[in-house]
Amino acid sequence: MDFQPTEEHLALQRTVRDFARAELAPHTEEWDLAGCLPVGVVHAMGDLGLFGLPFPEEWGGGGGDFTAMCLAVEEIGRVDQSVGITLSAAVGLGASPIFRFGTDEQRQRWLPDLMTGRALGAFGLTEPDGGSDARATRTRAARTDDGWTVNGEKAFITNSGTPITSVITLTAKTGENEVSAFIVPAGSPGLVVEPAPRKLGWHASDTHNVVFSDCSVPNEALLGELGAGFANFRSILDDGRIAISALALGCAQACLDHSLEYAKQRAAFGGPIGRFQAVAFALADLSVAVENARNLTYKAAWHKDSGHAYRQEAAMAKLYSTEAAVSAARTATQIFGGFGFMEESPVARLYRDAKILEIGEGTSEIQRLVIARGLGLPVA
């Protein structure tokens, strides 16, 4: 097992890091206050080829390298978590279901724009009464003479209401104990994107509830086999958990970066606060946590790229990295003291953004459940 990045990986990492520092960093506060992300940022990431990284070249992708995708998400998330989740969700939740389970016709229709950042896709699994209990789906799809009629509501859906959102994939019951997946084009009659809610963090990330009211789709909107929707989307979440681990790693690394710089510059009691063991040891522990998160993230990505089973590795990476990010944000805010509580500080936004990492794409409790079951425990 070799985690040493290739020259191609290092080159990509440098490119994305330079892009994030030059094109994102000067605007992160502005986007956070505005509560939205300019479409131009998505197009710029598309020009770098970031949306196609984990897909084969024959479909216009970057070669099917998931490790490369994680490197990009980490570097973007190190500067702006909202932009990072926009990229991660667009690839892992928007394009991936269509690539993995779609027909060639569905791929040819949707993937060219999704893989180049000309469009964004969304993924409708969570519902107001069904989050961690994804099997509690209430959205239903009923057969009609020429297709399906969808009724229901999906909650907290990323990239669902942008000007360039082109498609929403979703799960819906097609029988009493049968869940299937469908592709619904943006703007379809009966599809209503509700106003954006107020969020604690990820302010510049697009999030909406989506309502389907007698929303009609043709027969060819079925994504994958009838009844395979839940199993297929669960496997999509395994990939997404590795990407969220990379996003959390970026958050934790940013907390370490800012705290280390501040500890060297902030003077108290006649010298920099970094000379005090309380601060120095906190930074030492944070450095260890970042390294552990990095190893777990890229081990999981390596398992996926190598064709090995990776559900357990994905859950472990997601669990550890996201909890490490929340702890890192708390530590960074403590080191910054009163200034850390001010929105002008570089760690205040990270503090707000970190918490959702423990919740989205499977809570920490769900990750522990997955891991425990992987150990052979009959936990319910």
344 part of the active site: no
Give the pairing of strands 147-158 and 207-218.
antiparallel
Q: What is the pLDDT of residues 186-231, one digit of tens each?
A: 999 999 999 999 999 999 999 999 999 999 999 999 999 999 998 9
Is 5 a residue whose pLDDT tops 90?
no
79 falls within a domain: yes
Work out the average pLDDT over 23-48. Answer: 97
Percent of the chain at pLDDT above 90? 93
Same domain, 139 and 116: no
Query: Structurally, how many domains does the chain consist of?
Result: 3
Q: What is the pLDDT of residues 261-286, one digit of tens each?
A: 999 999 999 999 999 999 999 999 99
In CATH, what number is assigned to the domain containing residue 139?
2.40.110.10
Question: CA-CA distances (angstroms) from residue 221 to 84, 135, 217, 338?
Answer: 29, 21, 6, 53
Same domain, 69 and 126: no
Work out the average pLDDT over 125-150. Answer: 88
Cβ atoms 246, 70 nearer than 8 A: yes
Question: CA-CA distances (angstroms) from residue 171 to 125, 168, 184, 212, 358?
Answer: 6, 10, 11, 12, 23
Cβ atoms 121, 167 nearer than 8 A: yes
Q: What is the pTM of this model?
A: 0.97
Helix (H, G, I), strand (E, B) or coil at 356: helix
Q: How far apart are CA 266 and CA 207, in angstroms?
A: 37
Tokens of 323: 């909890």
Is 130 a residue whose pLDDT tops 90?
no
Which amino acid appears at position 152 of this protein?
G
380 falls within a domain: no
Domain end call among 226, 248, 273 = 226
254 falls within a domain: yes
379 falls within a domain: no
pLDDT of residue 4: 79
Same domain, 63 and 130: no
Same domain, 361 and 245: yes
DSSP-derived secondary structure letter, 292? H
Same domain, 105 and 143: no
Same domain, 35 and 100: yes
Same domain, 266 and 364: yes
Same domain, 294 and 315: yes
Q: How far apart are CA 263 and CA 280, in angstroms?
A: 8
Same domain, 45 and 58: yes
Work out the average pLDDT over 302-327. Answer: 97
Is 318 a residue whose pLDDT tops 90?
yes
Q: How far apart are CA 215 and CA 168, in angstroms?
A: 12
Work out the average pLDDT over 138-148. Answer: 96
In CATH, what number is assigned to the domain containing residue 86?
1.10.540.10
Work out the average pLDDT over 31-52. Answer: 97
pLDDT of residue 131: 72
67 falls within a domain: yes
Q: How far apart are CA 40 and CA 237, in angstroms?
A: 28
Is 254 a residue whose pLDDT tops 80?
yes
Tokens of 11: 């080159």
Tokens of 335: 């080191």
Cβ atoms 167, 195 nearer than 8 A: no
Q: What are phi and psi of 44, to 5 degrees?
A: -65, -40
Q: What are phi and psi of 76, to 5 degrees?
A: -65, -45
Work out the average pLDDT over 9-37. Answer: 97
Give the pairing of strands 222-223 and 178-185.
antiparallel
Residue with tokens 């009659």: 189
- Find the domain containing 171 and state its range: 121-226
Count Cβ atoms below 10 Å from residue 288 Cβ, excluding itself.
11
Is 350 a residue whose pLDDT tops 70?
yes
Q: How far apart are CA 188 and CA 16, in angstroms?
A: 35
pLDDT of residue 1: 65
